[in-house]
Amino acid sequence: MEQQLIIRFVEPSSRVRAELARSAFALGHHAEVYADLGELIDHMPETGVLVVRADPATGGVTSLMNRLADDGHWFPLIATDVEPSAQRIVAAMKAGALDYLPLPFGRPPVRGFTGAGRQRNDPSWPGAAPDDQSPNPDCQPVYS
């Protein structure tokens, strides 16, 4: 049996927060939702995985990671966005994000990030394509 994770969603949209929490609960994980980073910091947890909307208006993932570090905290972090750009994805990965997922998403991505320690090139990873089905065999994943 897979270990139950505590997934902490930081998302400004109450509708999206509810959808994300339902997805996590459906997979047997505990979910907590926060409207913004300030709310998370006010109730700073000790453990869990953060899934955070990468908002360029507030400095994106780099600003978020710096704010957490200033308070002496680090969490595994998965960034999300409705319209991710290559520039924002690269910045988030450089800042320490484990992954960057487009919104909206359903069950498969949530199932995928619950194995945050796995490598994307691991064939047992839920989102991995078999080697013979790769769209471009010369192309390597950005976040391997």
What is the DSSP secondary structure assignment for residue 104, as one 8-state letter? S
Phi then psi for 104, rounded to 5 degrees? Answer: -80, 155
pLDDT of residue 141: 41
pLDDT band per the 50, 70, 90 thresholds, residue 133: very low
pLDDT of residue 126: 44
pTM for this one? 0.69
> Does domain 6-133 sit in CATH 3.40.50.2300?
yes
Please compute the mean of the pLDDT values over residues 4-29 and round it to a whole number.
91
Domain boundaries of the chain, sorted by first residue:
6-133
Task: Report which of 98, 112, 102, 100 is spatially closest to residue 24, judged by C-alpha positions.
Answer: 112
Round the CA-based radius of gyration of the chain to a whole number and report it.
15
Beta bridge partners of 78: 51, 99
Please write the tens of the pLDDT for every residue from 58-115.
Answer: 788 888 888 888 888 888 999 999 888 899 999 999 989 999 998 876 544 555 555 5
pLDDT of residue 106: 53
Please compute the mean of the pLDDT values over residues 25-42 and round it to a whole number.
91
pLDDT of residue 113: 53
